[in-house]
Chain A
Amino acid sequence: MPSAVVIRRVIKPALFLLCALPLLSLVVAGFGIGGATLGANPVEKIQDTFGQWGLRFLVITLAVTPIRDWLNLPWLVQLRRMLGLYAFFYVLMHFLTWLILDQGLYWSGILQDIGKRPFITIGFAALLCLVPLAVTSTNKMMRRLGKRWKSLHRLIYVICLLAVWHYYWQVKADIREPLIYLAIVLVLLGWRAWKARPRRARASAGAVAGAGEG
């Protein structure tokens, strides 16, 4: 296990920069650095990139606890907050891109879309659910909420499902990619459900499937 200093001084800063790369790639393309370009439809490109990475960071955040257990790397959980905040950041940027660049703050259309278009309603709901998680991500809030903090942050299960659903509903024909995300999310949630099952059931099932958990 890396020392607390290494985690704080090396791993976390490195991860911070790594997670900022999608944003950086848009900035580079936006300024046309090195011939990079946002293409014929820059708004769509920006919106899609933010949305894609928002979903990816949600799934990565959801994967931290299982991976910690599978690989026996307890310190991984110390990176979870940063990953979760990046997920919120990219989802928020995705939303703001839609609001400002795509819709041009055309409010009647925006409100109509949020109310009338299920995939936008769902995406917006996911964003709303993320807000309390981001707000309560500080040490102070964790202490203040105590046990309730954990229950509150289980909202990410719902958020991940909403996000995949939002993606699934907006693709035109090729649903393979949303289904891959769905499969990953279901594995990560299924593993949690398996672990959280009542003890008696665990004892009886343990003989059959216990090895699978190892």
Chain B
Amino acid sequence: MLIRRPRPGDSAAIRPSEITSESVYLNRRKLLQAALAAGVAGIGTGWVSEAGAVADLKVQRNPKYSLSDAPNSYEDITTYNNFYEFGLDKGAPAANSSRFKPAPWTVSVQGEAEKTGTFALEDILKGHAIEERVYRLRCVEAWSMVIPWAGVPLADVLKQFKPTSKAKYVAFKTVLRPEEMPGQRSGVLDWPYVEGLRIDEAMHPLSLLAVGLYGKTLPNQNGAPLRLITPWKYGFKGIKSIVEIRFTEKQPPSTWNISAPHEYGFYANVNPKVDHPRWSQARERKIGAGLFGSRVPTLMFNGYEKEVASLYQGMDLKKFY
């Protein structure tokens, strides 16, 4: 849930009973695990549960990395998105993902790191506080949203595997389950979906491994139970339902780049000056602005220029799109 700031004269101001006691606060991690387990139990019943059977998460907003913009509605965020594994329409993920079982979940960590192997999701998240971060999301199709994600800084997670000096990139892979993901039964893209980041991009404090949104665990259609968020890049970099993290020396392949290399690059940084070959990226439609809300200018690096521009110093962004 969104943290509601009480206004002066607001009768719903925080009551003493609502203030978290210190013992409960210190028990947050246990509660969090319980909440994740509850989510697991709720979703674990599989197809009998509705799509979007989610559990509450204990989250604390990180104001340093949160926009003050009003986020899109939960409805918009969970019914309008791309997740080709569940179909091509933006309504398809919500409509076709109820059979997907995001629990139990393990992630295989491989490659250039000291600690590799297969880890339960709970173990990967153990010891990390779940932050809420209100980020802009800019789709390569020139629409955008504002989304309150809940997650853990990617760097914190990656560091626990002790990547070696050979780890120049991080590759991610989505689960392959055609029986639960009807889109994977078509040959529209090469399955499973793969993505990657340069190690310095992955370690950037803005990169987030999201486990929830709006203070709840991720609904299936938004990439349950674990997905990547890199808010300065186009949305398709945000690989969903991650089952493999691999540290590599060479630049790993990425699905959309394989599908259409001249249209989708490895970097996929939001850039209003570098158009998609078939459409302009200069302006975007803000979802939720309504019928007459016209397009607004797209910002360099999706508005995160100050934070990330240094990662790309000296690079020709027209060439490395």
Across chains A and B, which 9 residue pairs bring their CB atoms closest together, nearest first? A104-B294, A40-B80, A40-B76, A173-B188, A174-B188, A174-B88, A40-B287, A42-B291, A41-B287
Query: A106 contacts which of B75, B283, B288 (Cβ < 8 Å)?
Result: B283
Name A's interface SS: helix
CA A101 to CA B91, docked complex, whole Å: 21
Q: Does B285 contact A (CB under 8 A)?
A: yes
Interface size on B, residues (CB 8 A): 29
Per the 8 Å Cβ criterion, residues 135-166 of B in contact with A are 141, 143
List of A residues within 8 angstroms of B125 by Cβ: none
Q: Contacts A174-B88, A174-B188; is A43 near B283 (CB within 8 Å)?
A: no
Task: Find out whether the CB atom of A40 lies under 8 angstroms from the CB atom of B88.
Answer: no
CA A103 to CA B285, docked complex, whole Å: 9
Chain B positions 275 through 311: 1 when the CB is less than 8 Å from some CB of chain A, otherwise 0: 0001110110101101110110000000000000000
Q: Contacts A117-B279, A170-B278, A173-B88; is A39 near B80 (CB within 8 Å)?
A: yes
Q: Contacts A104-B295, A106-B295, A172-B141; is A41 near B283 (CB within 8 Å)?
A: no
List of A residues within 8 angstroms of B260 by Cβ: 173
Separation in Å of the A179 CB from the closest CB of chain B? 13
Q: Contacts A103-B295, A104-B295, A174-B88; is A41 near B143 (CB within 8 Å)?
A: yes
Task: Find out whether the CB atom of A106 lies under 8 angstroms from the CB atom of B80.
Answer: no
Q: Does B90 contact A (CB under 8 A)?
A: yes
Q: Contacts A119-B278, A170-B278; is A42 near B290 (CB within 8 Å)?
A: yes
Q: Give the interface size bracket for A toward B.
A: 20 to 34
Query: A102 contacts which of B72, B285, B288 (Cβ < 8 Å)?
Result: B285
CA A210 to CA B143, docked complex, whole Å: 54
CA A42 to CA B282, docked complex, whole Å: 21
CA A137 to CA B185, docked complex, whole Å: 46
Q: List 16 A-B contacts (CB under 8 A).
A: A40-B76, A40-B80, A40-B90, A42-B291, A43-B291, A46-B291, A102-B295, A104-B295, A106-B283, A106-B295, A113-B280, A119-B278, A170-B279, A173-B84, A173-B88, A173-B188
Q: Does B259 contact A (CB under 8 A)?
A: yes
Q: Which residue of B lies closest to A169 (CB)?
A: B278
Separation in Å of the A171 CB from the closest CB of chain B? 9
Task: Find out whether the CB atom of A117 lies under 8 angstroms from the CB atom of B278.
Answer: yes
Query: A118 contacts which of B79, B88, B278 (Cβ < 8 Å)?
Result: B278
Q: Does B189 contact A (CB under 8 A)?
A: yes
CA A87 to CA B80, docked complex, whole Å: 29
List of A residues within 8 angstroms of B79 by Cβ: 39-40
List of B residues within 8 angstroms of A169 by Cβ: 278
CA A172 to CA B142, docked complex, whole Å: 13
Query: B292 contacts which of A101, A170, A174 (Cβ < 8 Å)?
Result: A101
Chain B positions 179 through 199: 1 when the CB is less than 8 Å from some CB of chain A, otherwise 0: 000000010110000000000
Separation in Å of the B150 CB from the closest CB of chain A? 21
List of A residues within 8 angstroms of B80 by Cβ: 39-41
List of A residues within 8 angstroms of B278 by Cβ: 117-119, 169-170
List of B residues within 8 angstroms of A113 by Cβ: 279-280
Q: Does A112 contact B (CB under 8 A)?
A: yes
CA A169 to CA B263, docked complex, whole Å: 12
CA A125 to CA B79, docked complex, whole Å: 35
Q: Contacts A109-B280, A117-B279; is A41 near B295 (CB within 8 Å)?
A: no
Task: Find out whether the CB atom of A109 lies under 8 angstroms from the CB atom of B291.
Answer: no
